[in-house]
Amino acid sequence: MYAPSTMPAETRKKALALPGDEGVFFFITADMAMFALFFLVFMVGQAQAPDIYRASRAALDPTLGLLNTLILATSGWLMVRAVDAARRERWSAARRNVIAAALVGLGFAVTKAFEYHAKISHGITLNTNEFFTYYYAFTGLHFFHFVIGVLVLAITQAKLAAPEGEKTRIWLESAAAYWHMVDLLWMVLFPMLYLAGGTA
Amino acid sequence: MASAPMTEDNSYGAWKFCAWNGMIFMAVFMYFWGWLGHNLPPFAGDAPASEVAGYFRNHSDAVRLGMVTSMTFAVSYAVWGIAIGKVMDYAIGRGHILTDLQVWGAGLTVVPILVSSSFWLLGSYRPEALDDTTLQMIYDAAWLLIDLAYAVTSVQMFGLGFGFLRDKRAEPFFPKWVCWYSIWVGFMFIAECFMPFFKGGAFNRSGILNFWIEFSIFFAYAPIITWYTLKAIGRIRVENGD
């Protein structure tokens, strides 16, 4: 059985420490709490009008949703590789992985733009019904988080071009934590909007 | 460690008074603007015009008093921002651009509060002479302005958050969580952008997301920041040996 109490105090402290800047985790926690409320509001709406939600969900393409899930998961994996490389002080490899994470992540924007365009051209907008209100609002807010994330990755790769040791590693880990939050929120949004409750 | 960017008399009493203006603003805003103005919560976007108009006609004196007081004290938000800015001078050095953003953001926040309050005051000035839809339009205009002007306050919050994160003291004036809270509140205000698209539901001006959550995190903001600002002023005074 794993017994943390047998570990040296310093090692244990290091193992339990949050990666990156702990202040960023306050932001992430608060943000995820806000999204949890969004999800709760959606669930309540779905329980009150299941037929509307089912019929509306049928208009969404789960293949695109799945594609975006794979894009973000791959991008997240590249960020894990970047953090791993930075911890070994392989800064160039870390930078390459961050750039790759950003480039792969941009695929999410392309898919989302395609999806929004298709919906709007079929006359499905924010005011079509409650389901689509939430669909646009929640995916829109998530997309805003995504855009900020891409900007953070752009800054991160610039910092990795001239690394400053511990300081740069903490920045990278914080950026990766934020990027994983974007990923995780989508992992909930995708089944909730595209799959849960079935289609008509 | 006092970085002592200032050599003049700091007038700690005046400085603390300015810092307390955050609480003064919030108390006035909640009671006079919120309670007397029927803005806590507001009428929903889909409330009938007759309901909104009826409130203005039946409670015109209360709305007038609420808005006159709200307009008078709106400037206390800027005064508060200046007190915070002076603490930032000590934390990150005088003349930092993030301090300027914080001060300007706080100062500009006064404008939408002042102007939107004047709209509500306008509605209460001669409501008996105006028809229901005109009164509803005035009420709508006030809410659209106060909600959609969120970005100026976000500038203050980003300036404050990112500014105090640069405080290199062993024990910074503002804990990291407060800095990130400030950044997060400024960030989440973007949800206000949904408000004009809805007249009912969670995103309408009185909905759980656009009103209850967004305004709650804003109402909690001033007491938290004021607390740490006052603590910082006390520490600076001790560090300066005044």
CB distance B88 to B163 below 8 Å: yes
Residues of B with Cβ-Cβ distance to A133 under 8 angstroms: 197-198, 201, 203
Residues of A with Cβ-Cβ distance to B164 under 8 angstroms: none
Q: Is the pLDDT of residue B4 over 50?
A: no
Residue B181: name the closest of A183, A28, A66, A190 by CA: A28
Nearest to B181 among A26, A127, A133 (CB): A26
Cross-chain Cβ contact A141/B208 below 8 Å: no
Cross-chain Cβ contact A23/B190 below 8 Å: no
User: Residue ranges per domain, chain B?
Assistant: 12-233
Mean pLDDT within B151-156: 96
Cross-chain Cβ contact A27/B209 below 8 Å: no
Cross-chain Cβ contact A127/B208 below 8 Å: no
CA distance B29 to B70: 6
Other C-beta atoms lying within 10 Å of the C-beta of residue B209: 22
Mean model confidence pLDDT for chain B? 92
Give the per-residue pLDDT at A198: 60
Other C-beta atoms lying within 10 Å of the C-beta of residue B122: 17
Cross-chain Cβ contact A133/B177 below 8 Å: no
List the single range of A6-15, A106-115, B231-240 with lowest mean pLDDT.
A6-15
CB distance A98 to A163 below 8 Å: no
Distance from CA of A45 to the nearest CA of B (A): 10
Mean pLDDT within A146-170: 95
Cross-chain Cβ contact A27/B190 below 8 Å: no
Cross-chain Cβ contact A141/B179 below 8 Å: no
pLDDT band, residue A18 (cuts 50/70/90): confident
CA distance B171 to A110: 45
List domains and CATH numbers for chain A: 30-195 (1.20.120.80)
**Residues found in chain A:** 200
Cross-chain Cβ contact A127/B177 below 8 Å: no
Give the per-residue pLDDT at A5: 54
CA distance B134 to B217: 32
Other C-beta atoms lying within 10 Å of the C-beta of residue B168: 9
Burial A34-68 (b: 16+ CB within 10 A, else e): bbeebbebbeebbeeeeebbeebbebbeeebbebb
Cross-chain Cβ contact A37/B188 below 8 Å: no
Residues of B with Cβ-Cβ distance to A26 under 8 angstroms: 176-177, 180-181, 184
Nearest to A27 among B183, B194, B202 (CB): B183
Q: Which residue type sits at B201? A: G
Q: Which residue type sits at B70? A: S
Give the per-residue pLDDT at B200: 85
Report the residue of B177, B182, B195 to disrupt the A interface, i.e. the one with the largest count of A CBs within 10 Å: B177
Give the per-residue pLDDT at A1: 42
Residue B21 backbone dihedrals phi, psi, to 5 degrees: -60, -20
Give B236's Cβ-side CA count (13 Å radius): 28
Which regions of B109-202 does DSSP assign to beta strands (E)? none
Give the per-residue pLDDT at B33: 93
pLDDT band, residue B197 (cuts 50/70/90): confident
CB distance B240 to B13 below 8 Å: no
List the single range of A57-66, A70-79, B116-125 with lowest mean pLDDT.
A57-66
The C-alpha R_g of chain B, in whole angstroms, comes to 20
Distance from CA of B193 to the nearest CA of A (A): 10
Residue pairs spanning A and B at CB distance below 8 A? 47
pLDDT tens digit sequence for A91-103: 999 999 999 999 9
The token duo for A55 is 């019929």
pLDDT tens digit sequence for B161-173: 999 999 999 999 9
Q: Which conformational region is residue B93 in: left (phi greater than 0), alpha (psi within -120 to 50 degrees), or beta? A: left
Nearest to A41 among B176, B187, B209 (CB): B209
CA distance B72 to B142: 17
Give the per-residue pLDDT at B1: 46
- Give the residue numbers in A contacting B (CB under 8 Å), as ranges: 21-24, 26-27, 30-31, 34, 37-38, 41, 126-127, 130, 133, 137, 141, 144, 148
Does the CA dihedral B204-B207-B209-B211 come out positive or negative?
Answer: positive
pLDDT band, residue A131 (cuts 50/70/90): very high
Give B210's Cβ-side CA count (13 Å radius): 29
Q: Is the pLDDT of residue B174 over 90?
A: yes
The token duo for B151 is 């970005």
pLDDT tens digit sequence for B17-73: 999 999 999 999 999 999 998 888 999 999 999 999 999 999 999 999 999 999 999
Which residue has tokens 């709007």?
A120
CB distance B98 to B162 below 8 Å: yes
Report the residue of B180, B209, B221 to disrupt the A interface, i.e. the one with the largest count of A CBs within 10 Å: B180
DSSP string of A142-179? Answer: HHHHHHHHHHHHHHHHHHHHS--THHHHHHHHHHHHHH
Give the per-residue pLDDT at B65: 96
Report the residue of A18, A22, A27 to disrupt the B interface, i.e. the one with the largest count of B CBs within 10 Å: A27
Contacts of B188 (CB under 8 A, 6+ apart): A31, A34, B214, B217
Does the CA dihedral A140-A146-A151-A154 come out positive or negative?
Answer: negative
Cross-chain Cβ contact A41/B191 below 8 Å: no
Residues 184-203, chain B, touching A (beta carbon < 8 A): 184, 187-188, 190-191, 194, 197-198, 201-203
